[in-house]
């Protein structure tokens, strides 16, 4: 079980970022309650409309959807029902991840459609093999606390990608997995796959090894598939992570404060639906919101605003005492270069100092379209540095080392003192970043760039790392489940076309 570093908010040790006063958080909360009660959210699922109505929300029905207005008491009640701390169970129990207040972990960005091949260095569409390979590298990297489906299996048929994604990931990691579902039926099949890996349905119920990602549609809309996947997840006992993807200036207000209000409304309305379906369901407060750069028409995830919004969302999640999944470390650069390093560090540090529980963004380029192995390895190095930095400086009698200072005295030498030798292992240790003198660096690396060494590291991990194995019979059973579902989807599409004709 992993209990990672904590940021220093509310403690006497560690560095942290306050971001908002209690009054400012209250202001965002009350503005959100007003939006949910007076403006409402557009809900496009009949099942969800019935659940909202049964819970006490008012419904204005239109053709194909309803406007749901949620009273303040219901929002606050349902938010209170959600668990305050979550342990994300892993297939390998040693990799269970504890999401307690201000504990900061990292993972990759998700859903990329392209990948830069680590061997050819050419840009190409991502495949199911890439999905598994990236999971294997992440399984090796201690800096990655949970696994996100980093790329989509674009070589799999439509409607089956989420099932193929999960199969590839399950075979390549023992860590907890965060992943979306194409449909409620796909989620059923994904649950069957995970249960097969976990030793049966009963074991899986006790230790669910994946969490379902759901995305409201900004502004203020819960699409039918989003609602139905939330409901199916709740009925199956699977925790959800709610990730709005608002674009400030596009699908939300051009002011960041207004974006926080509508973002918050989208998350809380999803949590209300989940809790009305199953009281006490684990819910993680998420965000992938950023700005729409109106000059280029692109969603910028390398901008300062991406870090600002997601650090703010971490504070909102803490306000509701919920675990959070926020952006940190993404880049708009097209290659793993200086820009990608700067952009990673800015947003990752902001979200880490704010105490985000899981920061996603490692390995991503090009506004979330492209995944790169070298960037993942370089980001992991920086993650380790950030984890050390947020611990801060402990001020204790032992750490003040007064006896040593008296002993060495003016003009003395600390480098040969046994105290220095005992403490040196607690210093940060660089692996990819180089701290040697130039001559030693040239001798060791022949002047090779860090990017080249990062690609070599990734290739070495792919060739040498073996995740916790699955029995052959389990792998075969999973392949059969996926094949049967793919055939089911083909037959459904065939029947649909026939009925239209």
pLDDT, residue 428, reads: 87
Quote the CA–CA distance of 489 and 41 in Å, as a whole number. Answer: 31
381 part of a folded domain:
yes
Q: Which two tokens stand for residue 78?
A: 């349902």
421 part of a folded domain:
no
Q: Report whether the peptide linkage leading into residue 408 is cis, meaning its omega lies within 30 degrees of zero.
A: no
pLDDT band, residue 500 (cuts 50/70/90):
low
Secondary element (H or E) of residue 320: none
pLDDT, residue 501, reads: 63
pLDDT, residue 310, reads: 97
Quote the CA–CA distance of 27 and 265 in Å, as a whole number. Answer: 13
For the chain, what is the domain count? 1
pLDDT in tens, 138-169: 999 999 999 999 999 999 999 999 999 999 99
Burial-class residue 153 by CB neighbours within 10 Å (0-12, 13-18, 19+): buried
Cβ–Cβ < 8 Å for 325, 241? yes
Quote the CA–CA distance of 289 and 131 in Å, as a whole number. Answer: 24
Question: Distance between the two ends of the chain, CA-based, in angstroms?
Answer: 55
Quote the CA–CA distance of 284 and 228 in Å, as a whole number. Answer: 18
CATH number, domain with residue 168:
3.20.20.480
404 part of a folded domain:
no
164 part of a folded domain:
yes
Q: Which two tokens stand for residue 214?
A: 């759901």
Average pLDDT over residues 319-329: 96
pLDDT, residue 95, reads: 96
Q: Which two tokens stand for residue 157?
A: 């048929």
Q: Which two tokens stand for residue 358?
A: 């899981």
Q: Which two tokens stand for residue 366?
A: 């090009």
pLDDT, residue 427, reads: 85
Coil, strand or helix at 481: helix
Coil, strand or helix at 49: helix
Buried residues in 395-426 as b, exposed as e (16+ CB within 10 A) = eeeeeebeeeeeebeeeeeeeeeeeeeeeeee
Q: Is the pLDDT of residue 244 over 60?
A: yes
Buried residues in 260-288 as b, exposed as e (16+ CB within 10 A) = bbbbbbbbbbbbbbbbbbbeebbbbbbbb
Secondary element (H or E) of residue 293: strand 290-293
Bridge partner residues of 180 (DSSP):
213
pLDDT in tens, 174-184: 999 999 999 99
Long-range contacts of 472-477 (CB under 8 A, 24+ apart): 474/196, 474/197, 475/171, 477/196
pTM above 0.85, yes or no: yes
User: How far is CA 140 from each of CA 197, 345, 376, 482, rounded to the nearest angstrom?
Assistant: 19, 22, 12, 26
Q: What would the DSSP string read from start to end of 331-393? A: ---SSSSHHHHHHHHHHHHHHHHTT-SEEEEETEEGGGTEEEHHHHHHHHHHHHHHHHHHT--
Q: Which two tokens stand for residue 196?
A: 């097969």
Instruction: Give the distance from CA 472 to its chain's centroid.
Output: 30
Bridge partner residues of 88 (DSSP):
97
The torsion of the CA quartet 424, 427, 432, 435, rounded to 10 degrees, works out to: -70
pLDDT band, residue 13 (cuts 50/70/90):
low
Q: Is the pLDDT of residue 5 over 70?
A: no
310 part of a folded domain:
yes
Average pLDDT over residues 243-261: 97
Secondary element (H or E) of residue 90: none
pLDDT, residue 277, reads: 98
pLDDT, residue 249, reads: 95
Secondary element (H or E) of residue 72: helix 72-81
Q: Which two tokens stand for residue 466?
A: 């073996």
Cβ–Cβ < 8 Å for 259, 219? no
210 part of a folded domain:
yes
Cβ–Cβ < 8 Å for 336, 375? yes
User: How far is CA 417 from each of CA 30, 356, 397, 403, rounded to the nearest angstrom?
Assistant: 58, 39, 18, 12
pLDDT in tens, 452-488: 999 999 999 999 999 999 989 999 999 999 999 999 9
Quote the CA–CA distance of 222 and 230 in Å, as a whole number. Answer: 10
Q: Is the pLDDT of residue 412 over 80?
A: yes
pLDDT, residue 11, reads: 53
pLDDT band, residue 78 (cuts 50/70/90):
very high
Bridge partner residues of 326 (DSSP):
359
419 part of a folded domain:
no
Domain that holds residue 314: 1-393+428-501
334 part of a folded domain:
yes
Quote the CA–CA distance of 277 and 47 in Å, as a whole number. Answer: 10
Quote the CA–CA distance of 478 and 122 in Å, as a whole number. Answer: 32
């Amino acid at each position: 079980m992993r209990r990672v570093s904590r940021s220093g908010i509310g403690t006497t040790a560690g560095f942290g970022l306050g971001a908002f006063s209690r009054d400012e958080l209250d202001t965002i909360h009350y503005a959100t309650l007003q939006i949910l009660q007076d403006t409402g959210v557009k809900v496009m699922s009949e099942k969800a409309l019935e659940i909202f109505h049964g819970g006490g929300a008012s419904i204005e029905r239109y053709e194909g959807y309803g406007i749901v207005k949620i009273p303040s008491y219901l929002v606050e009640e349902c938010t209170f029902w959600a668990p305050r701390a979550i342990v994300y169970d892993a297939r390998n129990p040693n990799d269970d991840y504890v999401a307690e207040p201000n504990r900061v972990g990292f993972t990759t960005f998700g859903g990329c459609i392209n990948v830069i091949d680590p061997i050819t260095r050419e840009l190409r569409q991502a495949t199911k093999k890439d999905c598994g390979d990236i999971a294997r590298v992440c399984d090796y990297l201690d800096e990655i606390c949970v696994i996100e489906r980093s790329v989509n299996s674009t070589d799999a048929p439509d409607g089956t990608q989420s099932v193929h994604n999960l199969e590839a990931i399950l075979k390549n990691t023992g860590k907890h997995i965060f992943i979306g579902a194409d449909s409620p039926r796909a989620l059923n099949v994904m649950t069957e796959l995970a249960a097969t890996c976990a030793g049966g349905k009963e074991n899986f119920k006790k230790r669910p090894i994946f969490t379902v990602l759901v995305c409201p549609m900004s502004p203020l809309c819960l699409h039918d598939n989003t609602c139905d996947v939330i409901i199916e997840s709740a009925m199956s006992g699977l925790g959800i992570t709610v990730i709005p993807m608002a674009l400030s200036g596009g699908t939300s207000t051009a002011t960041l404060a207004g974006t926080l209000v509508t973002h918050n409304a989208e998350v809380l309305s999803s949590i209300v639906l989940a809790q009305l379906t199953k009281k006490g369901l684990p819910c993680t407060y998420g965000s992938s919101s950023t700005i729409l750069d109106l000059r280029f028409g692109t969603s910028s995830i390398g901008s300062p605003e991406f870090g600002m919004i997601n650090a703010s969302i971490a504070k909102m999640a803490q306000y509701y005492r919920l675990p959070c999944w926020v952006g940190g470390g993404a880049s708009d650069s097209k290659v793993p270069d200086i820009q990608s390093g700067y952009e990673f560090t800015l947003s990752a540090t902001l979200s880490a100092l704010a105490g985000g529980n899981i920061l996603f963004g490692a390995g991503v380029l090009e506004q979330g379209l492209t995944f790169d192995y070298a960037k993942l390895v370089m980001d992991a190095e920086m993650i380790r540095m950030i984890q050390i930095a947020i611990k801060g400086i402990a001020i204790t009698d032992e750490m003040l080392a007064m006896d040593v200072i008296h002993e060495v005295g003016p003009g003395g030498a600390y480098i040969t003192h046994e105290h220095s030798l005992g403490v040196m292992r607690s210093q940060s240790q660089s692996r990819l970043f180089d701290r040697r003198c130039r001559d030693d660096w040239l001798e060791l690396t022949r002047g090779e760039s860090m990017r080249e060494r990062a690609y070599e590291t990734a290739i070495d991990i792919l060739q040498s790392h073996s995740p916790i194995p699955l029995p052959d019979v389990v792998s075969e059973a999973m392949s059969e489940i996926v094949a049967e579902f793919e055939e089911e989807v083909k037959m459904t599409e065939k029947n649909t076309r026939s009925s239209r004709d």
